[in-house]
Amino acid sequence: MSAREKIAYLRGLIEGQNVTENASMTKFHEALLGALDSIAEELDDIGGSQDDLREYVEDLEDDLMELRSELGSELALGHCGHGDDSSEEEGEEEYEAMTCQLCGKDFFYRPDAYDEDEDLLCPHCGEPFEG
C-alpha cells in the first residue's frame, strides 16, 4: 500500500468516526492529514528525482564503457599511436584512426588489409563507406 493510499485510508477512518462535535479534534485531524499529504507529495518528488538520477548514472556508465573501449584500443596500439616508430621496425601491424562517415563513431583499422578501391565496413553501424 502506497503512502497516498494509507493517507486515504486514515482519512476515511477519521471521517467515519464523525467527530465534528469536537472542533479542536477536527482541526487536529485536518492539520495531521494536511501534513501527511505534504509528506507524500515530497516523497513523490524525491522518487522522480531518483529516477532521473538513475537514468543519468546509466548514461554515464555507458559513456564510461565506451571510453574504456576506445582507450583500450588506443593503448593496444602503443600509447595512442604516438611516440617512436619502433613498433613498425619490429614488424607490428600499423593501424590508422578513422571516423565513420555515416554514424560518426571512431575506430581503428589496418590500411594494409584493404585494397585501394575496397570500401571500409564500420564496426559500429556495419555500413560500408569509402576510406
Among the listed residues 74, 86, 128, the one whose alpha carbon sits nearest the alpha carbon of residue 103: 128
**Long-range interactions of 76-85: CB distance < 8 A, separation 24+:** 77/108
* CA separation for the pair 30, 18 (Å, rounded): 13
Give pLDDT tens digits along the chain (131 positions).
888 899 999 888 888 887 666 788 888 889 999 999 999 999 999 999 999 999 999 999 999 888 888 877 666 555 544 445 444 455 567 888 888 888 888 888 888 887 777 887 888 888 887 65
Q: What's the rounded Cα separation, in Å, for the pair 20 and 25?
A: 8
Per domain, the residue ranges of the chain are: 1-76, 93-131
The reply to whether the predicted model has a pTM over 0.85 is: no
